[in-house]
Structure 1
């Protein structure tokens, strides 16, 4: 699992790289995101352990994986992790707005 996570870190997609750059800027607000983080049997795109927050980017590879994604989200939520899903298109269109939505999502307790 760790080897796969390392490979995914090296081979990040353009939307993942763009969001990672912005998430790293949140350190001043106390956020400490990890990228391609192993969590149980899964690898989260981004994980903020202190806030128990998981960010998942959904692109073309998720088109036929609805059941898998629902099962994965349920597994994480059963472990008190909040999952926030974002489309790659939203990151490409306005990564700043995506980061604002992540901060608002967490501030509002993860509902929405």
Structure 2
């Protein structure tokens, strides 16, 4: 996927890469075992997913995946390809808002989740 991103992923990556956005470091196609996420700011504990048409058929898988990533203390936000391609300003505003808000869940010492 890294060598052949979707047009929406490429467009968003151009806005996020090299600390261009909110002076935050993002990586793309990052492994957070056992998953690969589209974009991540590990310091901000934020994962950004850009979903294409294939994701709508995988609702249960995506819910389990999101729950697992949140159990590690990450916040997961999702955008559809049409959002990125047609409303980049709105997408970047939503990401900026997510960066300003701390994650609501922190990993507990036992490996589960606990409320802040």
Q: TM-score, normalised by structure 1?
A: 0.85
Q: Would you say how many aligned residue pairs link Structure 1 and Structure 2?
A: 104
Q: 1:48 and 1:58 mapped to 2: Cα distance?
A: 18
Structure 1 residue 46 and structure 2 residue 39: aligned? yes
- 1-structure distance, mates of 2:102, 2:80: 21
Looking at secondary structure, tell me which structure has more strand per residue.
2
- Counterpart CA distance in 2 for 1:18 and 1:28 is 13
Q: Give the structure with higher Rg (CA).
A: 2
Structure 1 position 24, deviation (Å):
2.1
Gaps of at least 5 residues in structure 2 are 105-116
Q: 1:62 aligns with which of 49, 55, 58?
A: 55
Structure 1 or 2: more helix by fraction: 1
Q: 1:28 to 1:17 in 2, by over 3 A?
A: closer
Do 2:45 and 2:75's aligned partners in 1 also have CA atoms closer than 8 Å? yes
- Structure 1 gap ranges (5+): 1-7
- What TM-score do you get using the length of structure 2 for normalisation? 0.82
Superposed CA RMSD: 1.6
Question: Which position in structure 1 is the counterpart of 2:68?
Answer: 75
